[in-house]
Amino acid sequence: MITKQDLKKFKKDGYIKLKCVDKRKLLNLRNDFVNMVEVNFRKTFPEKKINITNQTKRINFLLNDALILLEKKNHKNLSDLFDQIARCTSFYQVISDKKITSVVNALLNRDKNKNLYINCNTIRMDIPGLTKFVYGWHQDHTSNIANSNFIQMWLPPFGDNNKNLGPLHVLKDSFKYTINTTHSNVENLHHKKYIPLNMQKVNHLRASFNTKLLERKNQFKEKLLTCKWGEVIFFNKQLMHKTGVNKTKNKMRYILGCFYHDILSPYWRFMSYDHKSKGFQEKKI
């Protein structure tokens, strides 16, 4: 599934794009999510009838128009779907697929069948335009489990990702350094003192879109990484990246992501939390 050339490229670039996801599992996930959206939509808008007989058009409506309407009505509609789908069996079937985990283990220089710890599993759901939920420049090793050896996965679960839908923005060669940003103080305080951050009082660990680099500002070239349906981007935990803005007018931006940790690492300072899902539920172990 992964070649020596792939491993060499990952080591050189800090990321790699591969075709290693089971599309049948992605279709199952999409169908499950569409059903969830429909239930939510009918409950929220009982007066609106979905009179679309063509299956493709019906799915497109529920994945895009319906979600945008639900978000405009009340953000809780979208946040509830966001929290639920990442805890569903069809979601876990995708992220625990052997093709994917074997690639991750190879990138971590481990045997392909080794056990992995997964956190921050989500499907991002970005409506058109720049919102407060869009991440600015950040390196996730500064805001996840301290000293953990992990790989990040990024893929579009329901269709192609393109420049209009918001590609993954990365800074070339940035994974070779730990780089301070205007958000670093929040991350450093969290890692140093294990302070649980209440999302209602603090902007937790989400780097705002206007986050700026405080050093090496002009050293790195920005690259935009798009991804076709069925492709997966794996990247180094220190790669500086940010969310692409959804520049369409009537489409949702969906991105499935999660972090795979070497659970046998003797160096990590394990804490149980999932800051990119439903807030902090931290507990020092």
What's the helix, strand, coil split of the chain in %, to 5? 35, 20, 45
Match 């609106």 to its residue by tokens.
Answer: 48
For CA atoms 33, 38, 61, 59, the dihedral sign is: positive
pLDDT of 197 strictly over 50: no
Give the model's pLDDT for residue 199.
39
Q: How confident is the model at residue 282 (pLDDT cuts 50, 70, 90)?
A: very low
Grouping H, G, I as helix, E, B as strand and the rest as coil, residue 32 is helix
DSSP state of 173: T
The whole-chain average pLDDT of the chain stands at 90
Give the model's pLDDT for residue 207.
84
Give the model's pLDDT for residue 268.
92
What confidence tens digit (pLDDT) does each residue in 48-67 have? 999 999 999 999 999 999 99
Give the model's pLDDT for residue 183.
85
Class of residue 32 by CB neighbours under 10 A (exposed 0-12, middle 13-18, buried 19+)? middle
Give the model's pLDDT for residue 276.
54
Give the model's pLDDT for residue 204.
56
Q: What percent of the chain has pLDDT over 70?
A: 89
Compute the distance between CA of residue 56 and CA of residue 42 in angstroms, rounded to an integer.
19
What confidence tens digit (pLDDT) does each residue in 124-180 have? 999 999 999 999 999 999 888 989 999 999 999 999 999 999 999 999 999 999 999
Q: How confident is the model at residue 273 (pLDDT cuts 50, 70, 90)?
A: low
Give the model's pLDDT for residue 209.
85
User: Between 59 and 200, whose confidence is greater?
Assistant: 59
What confidence tens digit (pLDDT) does each residue in 203-229 have? 456 788 889 998 888 899 999 999 999
Asked if 144 and 268 touch (Cβ cutoff 8 Å), the reply is no
Model confidence, pTM:
0.91
What confidence tens digit (pLDDT) does each residue in 64-101 have? 999 999 999 999 999 999 999 999 999 999 999 999 99
Give the model's pLDDT for residue 192.
58
CATH number of the 4-262 domain: 2.60.120.620
pLDDT of 27 strictly over 90: yes
